[in-house]
Amino acid sequence: MGAEEEARFARLVHEHSGAVGNYIRRRLYPLSASDLDDLVEETMIVVWRRLDRVPEDAELPWMLGVARNVLRNARRSKTRRGALEARLVPMSDASSAEDHVIADESVRHALATLSEDDREILLLNAWDGLDTHALGSYFVISTNAAAVRLSRAQQRFRELLNDAQVR
């Protein structure tokens, strides 16, 4: 029995650890390579413990949902390693991963003005490559609901971007 789970888990790790790592890197910055490895491993530990719940047709979005919780726990926890916590950049604050690389001020302003929910679904689609089906699995909503939310987030972003460029 153990060998079956191990093989499936190994496949999930090999196929999706890159995407999980990039998801975390986009939302916590700066982060050393070893700290990022630790957070990826924490995500994979949860995946291993709940392997029977990983849906066959939505493995990556499910795992990103786990990574999302790992990030939240990492920020909230006061018992984390001091060095790691000192380097965390809170996602909900004005300073974010985007701030460190954005040279396009209009886009930066539009992203910052979006609600957290709109920004999250917009970037999950634009950066993490999740389609509406995967977004539905990530947010535990229907595919249609995810499509509507994404469309609205994109529309609001375009409106904010146009406003920022007009000024």
Residues lying near another protein in the complex (CB under 8 A) are found at 2-11, 13-15, 17-18, 21-22, 24-26, 29, 33, 36-37, 40-41, 44-45, 48-53, 56, 97-98, 100-102, 104, 107-108, 122-123, 126-127, 157-158, 161
Tell me the closest approach of the beta carbon of residue 62 to another protein, in angstroms.
14
**Mapping DSSP to helix (H, G, I), strand (E, B) and coil, where does residue 115 land?**
coil
Q: What angle do CA 114, 119, 84 make, to 5 degrees?
A: 115
Nearer to another protein, 110 or 146 (CB): 110
Q: Taking a C-beta distance cutoff of 8 angstroms, is the pair 67, 59 a contact?
A: no
Cβ 150 to another protein shortest distance, Å: 13
114, 101 Cβ separation under 8 angstroms: no
**Would you state the structure tokens that stand for residue 164, as one six-digit string?**
């920022």
| Pick 122 or 130: Cβ nearer another protein | 122
User: How far apart are the C-alpha atoms of 79 and 133, rounded to whole Å?
Assistant: 36
CB-based contact 42:81 (threshold 8 Å) = no
CA distances from 31 to 25, 36, 82, 102, 132 (A): 7, 6, 13, 17, 29
How far, in Å, CA of 119 to CA of 157, rounded?
8
Least distance to another protein, CB of residue 96, Å: 10
Q: Which is nearer to another protein, 72 or 100 (CB)?
A: 100
Residue whose CB is less far from another protein, 63 or 78: 63
Q: Please, what is the minimum distance in Å from the beta carbon of residue 143 to another protein?
A: 21
As measured in angstroms, the least distance from the Cβ of 82 to another protein is 23
Q: Which is nearer to another protein, 33 or 83 (CB)?
A: 33
